[in-house]
């Protein structure tokens, strides 16, 4: 599997750790890691858009709620699961920060708000009449689903800007 060239390094690593678990935890045997090396995975740099490209992507999103979700995630660096759970009370526009209550590992953290985001969120809040969550789903009082946000991100990805940068 390691040398056949048909498997990616991540798949080989998963097989490696599955075997290690089998030997050490199930069979209670000693694991000789020197005989079975793990492959190195390539670390690639992320695609970083210019200011103009970000504005172009945002302008291409017709739905204001979807645009707000993308703006929130992009400007705060929040994870999708953190974004959907943001309550109106978590946004502190006086201090220009968002309090993320249940982040990765159930840790709380505060992230700064961009100067543009509070005005956009206020306009969105007034037009949508939200009750509890910033980004509510179809059912009033419930947050938007994680899969819905991922779909929004995928649709935004194909508004022309990402595909042209990747191919060139």
Helix (H) or strand (E) holding 97: strand 97-100
| Predicted local confidence at residue 159, as pLDDT | 62
Nearest partner of 56 among 155, 148, 156, 150, judged by Cα: 156
Tokens representing residue 159 in the block? 């508004």
| Predicted local confidence at residue 164, as pLDDT | 43
| Predicted local confidence at residue 168, as pLDDT | 37
| Predicted local confidence at residue 25, as pLDDT | 92
| Predicted local confidence at residue 163, as pLDDT | 46
Residue indicated by tokens 């007034």: 126
| Predicted local confidence at residue 3, as pLDDT | 63
| Predicted local confidence at residue 92, as pLDDT | 87
| Predicted local confidence at residue 154, as pLDDT | 83
In 3-state terms, what secondary structure has residue 138? coil
Cβ neighbours, 10 Å, residue 90: 16
Which residues of the chain carry a pLDDT beneath 50?
161-168
Q: What is the pTM of this model?
A: 0.67
């Amino acid at each position: 599997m390691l040398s056949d060239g048909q498997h990616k390094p991540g798949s080989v690593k998963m097989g490696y750790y599955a075997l290690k678990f089998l030997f050490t935890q199930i069979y209670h045997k000693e694991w000789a890691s020197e005989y079975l090396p793990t492959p190195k995975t390539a670390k690639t740099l992320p695609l970083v858009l210019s200011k103009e490209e970000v504005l172009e992507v945002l302008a291409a999103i017709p739905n204001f709620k979807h645009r707000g979700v993308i703006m929130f995630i992009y400007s705060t660096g929040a994870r999708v699961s953190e974004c959907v759970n943001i309550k109106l009370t978590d946004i502190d526009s006086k201090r220009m920060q968002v309090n993320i209550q249940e982040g990765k590992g159930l840790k709380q953290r505060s992230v700064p708000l961009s100067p543009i985001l509070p005005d956009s969120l206020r306009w969105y809040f007034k037009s949508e009449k939200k009750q509890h969550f910033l980004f509510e789903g179809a059912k009033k009082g419930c947050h938007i689903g994680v899969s819905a946000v991922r779909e929004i991100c995928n649709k935004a990805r194909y508004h022309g800007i990402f595909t042209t940068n990747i191919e060139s």
